[in-house]
């Protein structure tokens, strides 16, 4: 019997405040569950704006403890209510003054499975992330969820193939890449890099981008176009809209992973002893 998972992605516009942003995601999650979704990922820093367009310490107040803060506990209740696995990207405060760009993974019964902290932190106009986040220090965990083995890579991470391979080596079947990416410099890479990770590592990818302009913060124009792709690098259905908020639901045939890997034996044929220079500073 085929192993089919229905996945959901949400590319959302900013509402103007945290509470209404959370409520929006809760409502979309309930809609997704009613349509049969079993796993859902929100966008990078889902509960607020992408505040990294500016450098202002006022945004530190959005950070909270993971998993002990109120938002994650609220998301645990949502996962239990909907019966979905949830990937929840948000601003984490580890201890006072120590912050990370993090995604929590919550199982379908509401249990907290763990978190991934964004590894690669950019510092360029419109993306002043080093002002807000330390580089992640948890490695590349793969979470054994109710629907399969799940990994997370966050936004700028996608430009680095090393972590994508680490997730594959650790057994990931689907990797979610929540993002906040604007038109311009990297837009032409959006449909190339993530599909390349899927091909090279033989897993599904679900990649999410917020959408619209958050005018109170800056000119970044987030272009949506969220999608799922197969281990062959093929889009599953249509790519999300480039201008509008959208809930994306797709059926993923997980048996395709074995089918693809039995043809393209990248894990068998890799030569790690030849790559030692990659990890030199």
As annotated, the active-site residues are 44, 118, 155
Assigned token pair, 234? 């093929």
Name residues whose C-beta falls within 8 Å of residue 67's C-beta, 6 or more positions apart in sequence.
Answer: 73, 76, 104, 112, 115
- What is the SS3 assignment for 62? helix
Assigned token pair, 229? 């792709």
Q: For residue 60, which phi and psi values (nearest 5 degrees)?
A: -60, -25
Bridge partners for 117 per DSSP: 102
Neighbours of 78 (CB within 10 A): 21
Q: For residue 65, which phi and psi values (nearest 5 degrees)?
A: -65, 140
If we measure between CA atoms, which residue out of 191, 145, 159, 122 comes closest to residue 41? 145
Q: CA-CA distances (angstroms) from residue 148 to 3, 39, 221, 253, 256?
A: 10, 10, 34, 12, 14
b/e per residue 249-265 (b: at least 16 CB within 10 A)? bbebebebbeebbeeee
Cα–Cα distance for residue pair 252/3, rounded to 1 Å: 8
Q: Give the end-to-end CA distance of the chain in Å, rounded to a whole number.
A: 48
Q: For residue 229, which phi and psi values (nearest 5 degrees)?
A: -135, 155
């Amino acid at each position: 019997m085929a192993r089919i998972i229905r996945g959901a992605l949400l590319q959302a516009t900013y509402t103007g405040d945290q509470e209404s942003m959370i409520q929006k995601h809760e409502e979309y999650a309930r809609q997704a569950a009613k349509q049969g979704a079993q796993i859902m990922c929100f966008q990078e820093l889902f509960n607020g704006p992408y505040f990294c367009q500016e450098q202002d310490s006022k945004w530190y107040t959005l950070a909270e403890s993971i998993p002990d803060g109120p938002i994650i506990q609220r998301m645990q209740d949502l996962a239990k209510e909907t019966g979905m696995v949830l990937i929840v990207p948000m601003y984490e405060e580890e201890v006072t003054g120590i912050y990370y760009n993090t995604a929590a993974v919550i199982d379908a019964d509401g249990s907290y499975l763990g978190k991934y902290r964004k590894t690669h932190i950019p510092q360029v106009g419109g993306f002043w992330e080093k002002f807000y986040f330390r580089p992640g220090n948890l490695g590349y965990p793969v979470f054994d969820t109710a629907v399969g083995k799940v990994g997370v890579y966050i936004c700028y991470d996608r430009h680095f193939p090393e972590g994508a391979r680490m997730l594959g080596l650790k057994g990931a079947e689907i990797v979610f890449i929540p993002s906040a990416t604007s038109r311009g410099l990297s837009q032409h890479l959006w449909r190339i890099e993530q599909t390349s990770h899927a091909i090279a590592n033989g897993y599904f990818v679900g990649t999410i981008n917020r959408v619209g302009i958050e005018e109170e913060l800056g000119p970044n124009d987030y272009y949506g176009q969220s999608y799922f792709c197969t281990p062959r690098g093929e889009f599953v259905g249509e790519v999300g809209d480039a201008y509008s908020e959208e809930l994306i639901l797709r059926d993923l045939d997980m048996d395709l992973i074995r089918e693809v890997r039995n043809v393209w034996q990248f894990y068998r044929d890799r030569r790690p002893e030849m790559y030692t220079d990659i990890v030199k500073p």
